[in-house]
Chain A
Amino acid sequence: AQSVAQPEDQVNVAEGNPLTVKCTYSVSGNPYLFWYVQYPNRGLQFLLKYITGDNLVKGSYGFEAEFNKSQTSFHLKKPSALVSDSALYFCAVRAPGAGSGAGSYQLTFGKGTKLSVIP
């Protein structure tokens, strides 16, 4: 079974400082990895994904994430945090090659990390 861990329930960072939100995963086969952001009382918005290719992927709003296969990690980063980045962030994984049939489509989410950027 696939799983995702976000070890920090909350991350606090000062505005202008770099931010990192951590994610590790466990799957059979090659992972498809995603980051989503959720603002209060809203649905989830897609930020970026890793499927294949360069380990450093760039996404929306200046965010990027680094895929590290040996550490099974996919940490979300931004060089300079903004107050408007304050939100709930979710990491998610799919493993298309892991199973057969419909089950291989399943997307498993971490429990989320609340990011607070302090002015």
Chain B
Amino acid sequence: NAGVTQTPKFQVLKTGQSMTLQCAQDMNHEYMSWYRQDPGMGLRLIHYSVGAGITDQGEVPNGYNVSRSTTEDFPLRLLSAAPSQTSVYFCASSHDYNEQFFGPGTRLTVL
């Protein structure tokens, strides 16, 4: 049981490039979410999903897209990277309203 996995662990992009952060869970959780963590800001919710085919925006969705075609996978797409998107990104999943399980994070730098 791997829990929540994220790839890559580190990524450097140039302004304007696009990329996809991968997230997968093997616990059959219906709820998945993406957060970004910035110093002094805590964790801010980007997008979330309550099941395959259902996604919604969180607190800071601009510049990011998501889709959920399967229960297991919830990729986060950066459409045109900007330096303001330099951050650490965490994916999480949970069953119902219980505690969330977090992945190890992706550290992204946009130059």
Contact = CB atoms under 8 A, between A and B. Distances in A.
Among A9, A104, A105, find the residue whose CB has the most chain B CB atoms closer than 10 A: A105
A112 B45 contact: no
B42 A110 contact: yes
B12 interface: no
A32 B94 CA distance: 13
Report the interface size class on chain B: 20 to 34
A111 to B, nearest CB: 4
Nearest to A42: B104
Given A43-B104, A46-B100, A107-B33, A102 B56 contact: yes
A67 interface: no
Contact of B97 (A94, A108, A111): A94
B56 A103 contact: yes
B84 interface: no
A96 to B, nearest CB: 5
Contacts of B98: 49
Among B33, B50, B98, B99, find the residue whose CB has the most chain A CB atoms closer than 10 A: B99
B100 A43 contact: no
Interface of B: 4, 31, 33, 35, 40-45, 48-50, 54, 56, 58, 90, 92, 97-105
- Per CB-CB distance, the 5 closest pairs between chain A and chain B, nearest first, are A111-B42, A43-B102, A44-B102, A109-B43, A46-B99
